[in-house]
């Protein structure tokens, strides 16, 4: 059971620091991403990060796996700098990984880890801004980041990590959306509150971009986006990427790349990922 502060009965969130706990984080990376040894964040680096302002938190379940000491999820971030919305170089926290092992998902553990990360960063008193990246093709991550945590984005990074050969990324360009989590902003407080309400999106408030055609990639509705456009945009997202054959996956990938780059170039911000009646899951981009 999850409450607004992210407390879940039978699950404890705590700071990780010991070499053994850092090795357990590596086991979790292997479980979740099926990462090869070369892609694991080294345990010695995790220890150095935690001793120098980084935040490494683990979620432990009473019935969690014995080989990870009961750890079923973790989140990792560290201090950094970035150009803020006023164009100034400012301190921020850079979040690099969050994972929950499959059999413990959809119980609120991911949210509890992010809420605890938020508290830890605010307690440092250095910054109220956390950024991270996610794959625009991954619908669950889009809902988690935009809808449930209240992040926003206007940054699209082409092939951010080069080739990754883990199970999730193999064979695709690693384009990423970078999200901004403004920890004390009204939208974050609203998204993470126990009384959160979903905004309804009537079709007349939206400019709905059609999904890519199965034979030819159509960007017709995107190229018509102009300065006169005042509605929010609804851009479709694939329901799931796994069963899509490679060609279709690449088509969606290029469609989303084009859509985000075009919209961001025209001043839109990505603000949500919602399920629209009858037409399914869409990104929402607001003119700013």
* Binding residues for ligand COA (CB under 6 A): 32, 98-100, 105-111, 134, 140-141, 143-145, 147-148
State in angstroms the smallest separation of the CB of 88 from ligand COA. Answer: 27
Question: Which C-beta is closer to ligand COA: that of 129 or that of 144?
Answer: 144
Question: Which C-beta is closer to ligand COA: that of 108 or that of 212?
Answer: 108
Question: Which C-beta is closer to ligand COA: that of 264 or that of 281?
Answer: 281
State in angstroms the smallest separation of the CB of 110 from ligand COA. Answer: 2
State in angstroms the smallest separation of the CB of 275 from ligand COA. Answer: 9
Question: Which C-beta is closer to ligand COA: that of 143 or that of 249?
Answer: 143
State in angstroms the smallest separation of the CB of 78 from ligand COA. Answer: 16
Residues 190 and 23: their CA atoms lie apart, in Å, by: 36
How does DSSP classify residue 163? -
168 CB burial (10 A radius; 0-12, 13-18, 19+): middle
Q: Which residue is nearest to ligand COA (CB)?
A: 110
- Asked if residues 181 and 149 have their Cβ atoms less than 8 Å apart, the reply is yes
State in angstroms the smallest separation of the CB of 3 from ligand COA. Answer: 12
Residues 161 and 154: their CA atoms lie apart, in Å, by: 19
Residues 73 and 25: their CA atoms lie apart, in Å, by: 8
Question: Which C-beta is closer to ligand COA: that of 30 or that of 221?
Answer: 30
Question: Which C-beta is closer to ligand COA: that of 117 or that of 147?
Answer: 147
State in angstroms the smallest separation of the CB of 16 from ligand COA. Answer: 16
Q: Which two tokens stand for residue 14?
A: 């705590």
Element spanning 273, H or E: strand 268-276
Three-state SS string across 68-115, please? Answer: HCCEEEEEEEEEEEEECCCCCEEEEEEEEEEEECHHHCCCCHHHHHHH
Q: Phi and psi at residue 285, in whole multiples of 5°?
A: -120, 125
- What angle do the packed helices 43-51 and 19-33 form, to 10 degrees? 120
State in angstroms the smallest separation of the CB of 141 from ligand COA. Answer: 4
Question: Which C-beta is closer to ligand COA: that of 98 or that of 188?
Answer: 98
Residues 168 and 97: their CA atoms lie apart, in Å, by: 14
Please compute Rg for the chain using Cα positions. Answer: 19
């Amino acid at each position: 059971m999850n409450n607004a502060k992210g407390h879940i009965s039978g699950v404890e969130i705590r700071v990780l620091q010991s070499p053994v706990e850092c090795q357990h984080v590596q086991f979790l990376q292997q479980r979740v991403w099926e990462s090869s040894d070369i892609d694991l964040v080294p345990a010695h680096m995790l220890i150095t990060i935690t001793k120098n302002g980084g935040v490494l938190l683990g979620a432990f379940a009473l019935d969690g796996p014995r080989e990870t000491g009961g750890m079923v999820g973790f989140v990792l971030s560290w201090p950094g700098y970035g150009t803020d919305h006023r164009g100034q170089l400012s301190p921020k926290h850079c979040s690099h990984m969050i994972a929950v092992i499959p059999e413990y998902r959809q119980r609120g553990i991911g949210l509890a880890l992010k809420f605890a990360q938020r508290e830890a960063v605010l307690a440092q008193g250095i910054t109220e801004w956390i950024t991270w990246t996610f794959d625009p093709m991954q619908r669950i991550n889009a809902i988690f980041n935009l809808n449930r945590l209240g992040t926003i984005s206007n940054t699209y990074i082409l092939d951010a990590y080069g080739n990754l050969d883990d199970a999730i990324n193999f064979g695709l360009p690693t384009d990423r959306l970078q999200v901004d989590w403004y920890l004390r902003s009204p939208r974050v407080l609203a998204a993470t509150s126990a009384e959160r309400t979903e905004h309804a999106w009537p079709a007349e408030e939206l400019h709905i971009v059609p999904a890519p055609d199965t034979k030819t990639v159509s960007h017709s509705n995107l190229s018509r986006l102009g300065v006169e456009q005042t509605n929010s945009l609804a851009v479709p997202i694939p329901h799931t990427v796994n069963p899509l054959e490679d060609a279709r996956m690449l088509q969606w990938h290029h469609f989303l790349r084009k859509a985000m780059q075009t919209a961001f170039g025209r001043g839109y911000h990505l603000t949500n990922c919602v399920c629209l009646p009858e037409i399914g899951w869409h990104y929402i981009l607001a003119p700013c």
